[in-house]
Amino acid sequence: MATRRYGISRGQHQSDITEAAGAAVSSDDIELTFDLTKSLTKEDIKLALDAFWAYIDKDTYPPA
């Protein structure tokens, strides 16, 4: 599977984001992985991130 992975840990900043190919691993506190075979556009990814943000914002945290 062709994937792209971005990762960042608590306390890090935009310049600390790592980017790599391959499946998700647990090297960062937060990771975003998407499938390049789905022909996703930047807009698709931005809309998905907005949906995640809205879900996290309204949901009980931490999750049960």
pLDDT digits (tens, 9 = 90+) for 6-61: 999 999 999 999 998 877 777 889 989 989 899 999 999 999 999 999 999 999 88
Query: CA–CA separation, 44 vs 62, rounded Å?
Result: 27
**Residue 64's pLDDT band (boundaries 50, 70, 90)?**
confident
Does residue 30 fall inside a structural domain? Answer: yes
pLDDT over 90 (residue 1): no
Q: How many domains does the chain have?
A: 1
Does residue 64 fall inside a structural domain? Answer: no
Please tell me the predicted confidence (pLDDT) of residue 46.
95
**Spatial contact of 31 and 61, defined as CB atoms under 8 Å apart:** no
pLDDT over 90 (residue 2): no
Strand partners, 38: none
Does residue 21 fall inside a structural domain? Answer: yes
Q: Structural domain of residue 42, as residue ranges? A: 3-58
CA dihedral 47, 22, 38, 19 (to 10 degrees): 40
Does residue 63 fall inside a structural domain? Answer: no
Does residue 50 fall inside a structural domain? Answer: yes
Query: CA–CA separation, 14 vs 50, rounded Å?
Result: 18
